[in-house]
Amino acid sequence: MFRFKGSLQFKFMSAIICIVVPLLGIIFLWQGVTEERQAWTQVINQARVLTRQIILTRQWVSDSQGLFLRQDTPGAQGGGKFYSDLLTTQRGVMQRFTPSMVTKQLSLYSYRQNLYRFRLAGIAPMNPENRPDEFETAAIKSFAQAANTEYYSLADHNGEAVFQYSVPLYVDETCLSCHKNYTSGTVSGCLSIHLPAQHVLDSLSRGKITLFMSALALIVLTVMTLYFLVHYLVLRPLGTLEAVAEGISRGEFPANIHIGGSHEMNRVGQALSSMSAKLEEGRNRLEEEVHKATSDLALANEELKTLDRLKSEFLATMSHELRSPLTSIRGGLDYLRRTESAPDRQNYLHIMDKNVSRLTHLVTDIFDITRIEAKKIDWNFAAADMAELVGEIVEIMGPLAQEHGLRLCVQPSGPMVALADVERIEQVIVNLTDNAIKYSPNGGAVDFALQSEGNEIRIQVRDHGPGIPPGDREAIFKKFHTTPSSGRGEKPGGTGLGLAICSQIVRAHGGRIWVEDNEGEGSVFTFTLPAAKE
């Protein structure tokens, strides 16, 4: 669908121009046409009156069988020599003037006084001067053939406009006395009149210019008036509204908003003022509530921190205190297992040994994590070759792997020197290896790989165990999280702290740890450490 784009002002002005300009144009065009028609109607009416008078005069002369004029008077000059009807009277020699001669004399008088010209034209004139010209021939034709009662046109006469008007002349009884070949009632010719029309054309063109200028002035005035009205009544108040709205969105709440322009806009301003007041009130209330909630939260947070600290302290103290008795128990158990030969007692001792191991493991893990979280560990960062460390761990844990029929394979690599606390990173690698052995099926392999990438060293432990479901891959690095997966169908039996400790240690080094799928069979644990600068 067509969408008219642009500012409100542009749209408004376009609409006004599209409506006002053609409308005013049509009105003024109509006015111009009407004026022109009126002017020409006036000219035609003038011509009608004149011809009527001339025809009446001619009729009167015709009815009187001609006029006798004294031959030596100025009015009889140029009367023509076609008639020899002379009458000698006491006043002098009188010549008879026929209707056409009288008409000609009147025409000469009018022409001399620069008024208008008229003349008679006949189809078969006795006087050759009365032969019809082009216009008159066309007029006679239209009278005879189409029975028209008038004929007119505008012509150019030596650069001056002339209005030519013609009416028909019919043969009557009096004509037959001279024009023997005429038939009564038929068109004998025409009376044509030439009115100067240049002044009409000039006045019309002056009128058109005046009309055009008035139209232009009216259009400009209308458009400008509407422009200023739109600007002051709509756009300026809208601008003020926009500024107020922006202010409110910045958190400024003006008390008395005056928009101006019109009553309606002022009412909008009042509504905006009350909205702004309510918003300010709401914000203040909200701020107070947030402030109160924040202080409550801060208080609760402090309490929680204290509780957490107390819990960590308790756990640290407890795990520390538990380690010594556990060591004594383990020593006693070791002694008993070496000295006791009865198989049923050996069996009990084995179960006790297994549970003491688990308890020791748990206590050590709790001890480690609480110390890391309480930032009570002194880190000994130093440059160390991780390839060498992995090699040593593989050697130490080889027998455990063999117990489960597993091989520990290290991909050969050059020295991979990282900035690390060796003791802690050893703990990480041992933990990952321990898990890999624990969850791998018998007879497989656990692979170790080391890479140097940019500024970091990457260490990977890959197993072929059950793998870790995608939904658990982040959670297993959180405390006490275990998943019910095991390569040998046993319960994991761990504390769920091993990977959390690994994650804390790696993060303390500025590295990352994550787990991925080992192409559908097993998991790949990867962690990074910062490479030591040479």
The region of 106-114, 240-248, 275-283, 496-504 touching ligand ADP under the rule CB under 6 A is 496-504
Q: Taking CB under 6 A as the rule, which mask of x and - marks residues 37-56 in contact with ligand ADP? A: --------------------
Number of neighbouring beta carbons within 10 Å of residue 325: 9
- Contact between 188 and ligand ADP (CB under 6 A)? no
Q: Exactly one of 360, 482, 526, 530 binds ligand ADP (CB under 6 A); which one?
A: 482
Closest distance between ligand ADP and the C-beta of residue 251, in Å? Answer: 49
Q: Exactly one of 43, 384, 418, 476 binds ligand ADP (CB under 6 A); which one?
A: 476
Rg for the chain (alpha carbons), in Å?
Answer: 63
Question: Could you write out the DSSP letters of every residue in 308-370?
Answer: HHHHHHHHHHHHHHHHHHHHHHHHHHHHHHHH---HHHHHHHHHHHHHHHHHHHHHHHHHHHH
- Contact between 495 and ligand ADP (CB under 6 A)? yes
Q: What are the C-alpha distances in Å from 132 to residues 78, 174, 185, 188?
A: 20, 22, 20, 11
Closest distance between ligand ADP and the C-beta of residue 411, in Å? Answer: 18
Q: At what angle do helices 386-403 and 422-439 cross, to 10 degrees?
A: 30
The region of 50-58, 62-70, 108-116, 491-499 touching ligand ADP under the rule CB under 6 A is 491-499
Residues between 509 and 528 with contacts to ligand ADP, criterion CB under 6 A: 523
Pairing of strands 160-170, 407-410: unpaired
Closest distance between ligand ADP and the C-beta of residue 394, in Å? Answer: 16
Identify which of residues 269 and 487 has a Cβ nearer to ligand ADP in the complex.
487
- Residue 307 has which token pair? 């509780």
Q: Residue 41 burial by CB count (10 A; 0-12/13-18/19+): exposed, middle or buried?
A: exposed
- Contact between 498 and ligand ADP (CB under 6 A)? yes
Those residues with Cβ within 8 angstroms of residue 482's Cβ, 6 or more apart along the chain or in another chain: 476, 492, 494, 496
Q: Residue 96 burial by CB count (10 A; 0-12/13-18/19+): exposed, middle or buried?
A: middle
Size of the site for ligand ADP (CB under 6 A): 21
- Residue 459 has which token pair? 């260490």
Instruction: Find tokens 């080391």 and name the residue.
Output: 450
For the CA atoms of 255, 258, 262, 263, what is the dihedral angle to 10 degrees? 30
The region of 3-11, 115-123, 331-339, 481-489 touching ligand ADP under the rule CB under 6 A is 481-489
Closest distance between ligand ADP and the C-beta of residue 473, in Å? Answer: 10
- Contact between 468 and ligand ADP (CB under 6 A)? yes
Identify which of residues 101 and 497 has a Cβ nearer to ligand ADP in the complex.
497
Residues between 364 and 403 with contacts to ligand ADP, criterion CB under 6 A: none
Q: Which of 505, 333, 520, 315 is nearest to 426 (CA)?
A: 505
Instruction: Find tokens 């914000």 and name the residue.
Output: 283
The region of 92-100, 246-254, 275-283, 478-486 touching ligand ADP under the rule CB under 6 A is 478-486
Q: Taking CB under 6 A as the rule, which mask of x and - marks residues 407-446 in contact with ligand ADP? A: ----------------------------xx--x-------
The region of 229-237, 336-344, 348-356, 490-498 touching ligand ADP under the rule CB under 6 A is 490-498
Q: What are the C-alpha distances in Å from 128 to residues 80, 131, 132, 491?
A: 11, 6, 9, 144
Q: Exactly one of 496, 508, 512, 516 binds ligand ADP (CB under 6 A); which one?
A: 496
The region of 61-69, 77-85, 91-99, 493-501 touching ligand ADP under the rule CB under 6 A is 493-501
Q: At what angle do helices 343-373 and 263-339 cross, to 10 degrees?
A: 150
Q: Exactly one of 50, 384, 401, 499 binds ligand ADP (CB under 6 A); which one?
A: 499
Do 133 and 117 meet the contact criterion of CB atoms below 8 Å apart? no
Do 448 and 409 meet the contact criterion of CB atoms below 8 Å apart? yes
- Contact between 492 and ligand ADP (CB under 6 A)? yes
Q: Which of 436, 432, 458, 473 is nearest to 511 (CA)?
A: 458
- Contact between 497 and ligand ADP (CB under 6 A)? yes
Residues between 302 and 331 with contacts to ligand ADP, criterion CB under 6 A: none
The region of 9-17, 55-63, 197-205, 477-485 touching ligand ADP under the rule CB under 6 A is 477-485
Closest distance between ligand ADP and the C-beta of residue 525, in Å? Answer: 7
Residues between 125 and 184 with contacts to ligand ADP, criterion CB under 6 A: none
At 88 the three-state DSSP class reads strand
Residues that bind ligand ADP (CB under 6 A): 435-436, 439, 463, 465-466, 468, 476, 481-483, 485, 492, 494-500, 523
